[in-house]
Amino acid sequence: MEQKLDQIQSATLAQIGAAASTDEIENIRVRVLGRKGELTQILRTLGELSPEERARMGQKSNAVKAAIEEALEEKKSGLSEAKISELLREEWIDVTLDGADSSRGFSRGRMHPLSQVQYEVEDIFTSMGFEILDGPEVETEYNNFEALNIPPYHPARDLQDTFWTEDGNLLRTHTSAIQIRGMKTHKPPFRVIGPGRVFRYEEIDASHENTFYQIEGMMVDRDISVAHLIFIMKQLLSAIFRKEVKVRLRPSYYPFVEPGFDLDFNCLICGGKGCRVCKHSGWIEFLGCGQVHPNVLRMGGIDPEAYSGFAFGMGLNRLVMMKFGVNDIRHFMGGDIRFLEQF
């Protein structure tokens, strides 16, 4: 047995010395020291020896094992350091050097037009006492639909083609879900807005995208009326466009408001004459709005007998299109640097 141990040690150390990769080192370790390895098999037979032989062979086996493990570790460390040195030598980049054409200088990045207008809208609303809220883009069915007075059987769900996740959640179809979260954390009176990205499985054209941005707003207090809503909207539009904008309020249906309205403003691309952005109507559908439905207030833990409120949800992309004269909503997600360099 002692001769066998010496043979294993000398052969293994020679193999370790000749190894050229960490994979080879691992194969040697498994072959010699693994559960079915050569040295392991010998160690399992020590119980068959006399007590004196068992003690002597045990010490010998442990010494052989320690020598092999030390050689494996040293070789593995050396191979790893050599690999790192090779990568540093081959992939090293001098980040202190100028660009290939230093005469061009450095191009400064620009803020995306959606971000520019979002921050501007946030500043306008905060100047009127509104608080900015946020919410997750992956939402629960309850917050996105049921708490907004849209139960599973409601036909309004068919109007919003939804991306569902395997666990039963969804990519929020509107920022209205932020309203629900806001009502659960705020007590009346309060004024909040919730900007964010939303998703709908829609056919893409000049005025529709499957990924776009909205800003949700809500004001809850005693005796809040539609007049408060109209005033806030006019303040927003005049501040954004820095001029008076012609608007109209049309009765419309949304399950989370009663009464509900669509607020449109005169298309600034064509001046109301008609173009593909406004679908040749001369008007841009800006937002849906109305008085918060009593059921929604109840879902948010607010007594509709004591408080009322208005809510609105505006499309940020369309607002940016009107502000900068962009005639195709697809430019925002297109990644064309030439488009972004204009802002």
pLDDT band at 178; cut points 50, 70, 90: very high
Is the four-CA dihedral 73, 78, 82, 85 of positive or negative sign? positive
Q: Specify whether 65 is located in the same domain as 142.
A: no
Residue 77 in contact with residue 83, Cβ under 8 Å? Answer: no
Asked if 221 contacts 292 with a C-beta cutoff of 8 angstroms, the reply is no
| Residue that is written with structure tokens 């539609």 in the block | 226
| Alpha carbon 114 to its chain's center | 16
Do 151 and 61 lie in one domain? The reply is: no
Q: Are residues 57 and 122 in the same domain?
A: no
- Based on the domain organization, do 86 and 120 belong to the same domain? no
Do 72 and 38 share a structural domain? yes
Q: How confident is the model at residue 100 (pLDDT cuts 50, 70, 90)?
A: low
- Strand, coil or helix: 3: helix
Question: 249, 280, 246: which is closest to 266 by C-alpha?
Answer: 246
The answer to whether residues 83 and 211 belong to one domain is no
Q: Where does the pLDDT of residue 104 fall: very low under 50, low under 70, confident under 90, or very high at 90 and above?
A: low
Please give the single-letter amino acid code of residue 97. L
Domain C-terminal end among 39, 57, 91 = 91
With residue 77 as reference, give the H or E element that holds it.
helix 51-91
20 and 152 both lie in a single domain: no
When pLDDT is averaged across residues 259-274 and rounded to a whole number, the result is 86
Q: Report the C-alpha gap between 276 and 285 in whole angstroms.
A: 13
Strands (E), the chain: 131-132, 138-139, 170-171, 190-199, 211-221, 247-252, 257-266, 283-292, 308-315
Give the tens place of pLDDT for each residue, 284-310: 888 899 999 999 999 999 999 999 999
Strands of the sheet containing 308-315, edge to edge, are 131-132, 190-199, 211-221, 308-315, 283-292, 257-266, 247-252
Q: Does the residue 108 lie in any domain?
A: no
Strands 283-292 and 170-171: unpaired
Q: Report the number of distinct structural domains present in the chain.
A: 2
Checking if the pLDDT of 103 tops 70, the result is no
Measure the CA angle with vertex 188, ends 185 and 194; round to 5°.
55
Residue 98: what pLDDT?
62
**pLDDT tens, position by position, 11-20:** 888 888 888 8
Same domain for 50 and 179? Answer: no
Which pLDDT score is estimated for 137?
95
Residue 237, token pair as written in the block? 């539009």
Average pLDDT over every residue of 80-107 = 72
Tell me how far apart the alpha carbons of residues 241 and 119 are, in angstroms, rounded to a whole number: 14
Could you tell me where the beta strands, DSSP code E, fall in 267-336? Answer: 283-292, 308-315
Last residue of a domain, one of 91, 122, 147: 91
Q: In this predicted structure, what is the pLDDT of residue 99?
A: 57
Q: What is the mean pLDDT of residues 146-166?
A: 82
- State residue 294's pLDDT score: 95
What is the model's pLDDT at position 299?
Answer: 92
- The predicted model scores a pTM of 0.63
Q: What is the pLDDT of residue 140?
A: 94
> Residue 315's domain is classified under what CATH number?
3.30.930.10
- Write out the residue range of the structural domain in which residue 25 sits: 2-91
Q: Are the C-beta atoms of 261 and 318 separated by less than 8 Å?
A: no
pLDDT of residue 180: 92
Q: What integer is the mean pLDDT of 35-48?
A: 76
Residue bearing tokens 């809850």: 220
Specify whether 56 is located in the same domain as 173: no
Confidence band of 272 (pLDDT split at 50, 70, 90): confident
The confidence score (pLDDT) of residue 159 equals 61
Residue 123 shares a structural domain with residue 254: yes
- N-term to C-term CA, the chain: 82
| Domain final position from 91, 123, 139 | 91
Q: How far apart are CA 13 and CA 325, in angstroms?
A: 75
Answer whether residue 197 shows pLDDT above 90.
yes
Give the model's confidence band at 228: pLDDT under 50 very low, under 70 low, under 90 confident, else very high.
Answer: very high
Distance separating alpha carbons of residues 147 and 300, to the nearest angstrom: 8
Q: What pLDDT is recorded for position 105?
A: 62
- Give the C-alpha separation, 67 to 85, whole Å: 27
CB 251 within 8 A of CB 259: yes
Reported as half-sphere exposure (CB side, CA atoms, 13 A), residue 235 has a value of 15
Query: Three-state DSSP class for 261?
Result: strand
Average pLDDT over residues 84-113: 73
